[in-house]
């Protein structure tokens, strides 16, 4: 899963069915694969907004 997320983050245009099939092979279903993509995309988006605007996150944002 982490290899998939890393590729999605660094080279999203290179994600293909083979990448999703690797997740299926280790028993992730379609809904779980979508969740993996959504969580990675959300964190990528928020980190880019924060970095681009030099925004300091709220203390509650971190554990």
- Alpha-carbon distance 42 to 36, whole Å? 10
Q: Which residues of the chain are under the pLDDT cut of 50?
A: none
- Tell me which long-range contacts 13-18 makes (C-beta under 8 A, separation of at least 24): none
pTM of the model: 0.82
pLDDT at 40: 97
Please report, for residues 25, 39, 40, 46, the alpha-carbon distance to residue 43 in angstroms, rounded to integers and kept in the order given. Answer: 25, 6, 5, 5
pLDDT at 62: 67
pLDDT at 30: 98
pLDDT at 26: 98
The CATH superfamily of 2-61 is AhpD-like (1.20.1290.10)
pLDDT at 63: 60
Residue 4: partners with Cβ closer than 8 Å, 6 or more residues away: 15, 19, 20, 22, 23, 36
Taking only the tens place, the pLDDT of each residue in 15-27 is: 999 999 999 999 9
Number of other CB atoms surrounding residue 19 within 10 Å: 14
């Amino acid at each position: 899963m982490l290899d998939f997320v890393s590729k999605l983050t660094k080279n999203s245009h290179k994600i293909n069915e083979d990448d999703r099939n690797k997740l299926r092979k280790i028993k992730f279903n379609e809904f779980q694969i979508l969740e993996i993509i959504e969580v990675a995309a959300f964190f990528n988006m928020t980190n880019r907004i924060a970095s681009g605007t030099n925004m300091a996150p709220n203390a509650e944002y971190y554990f």
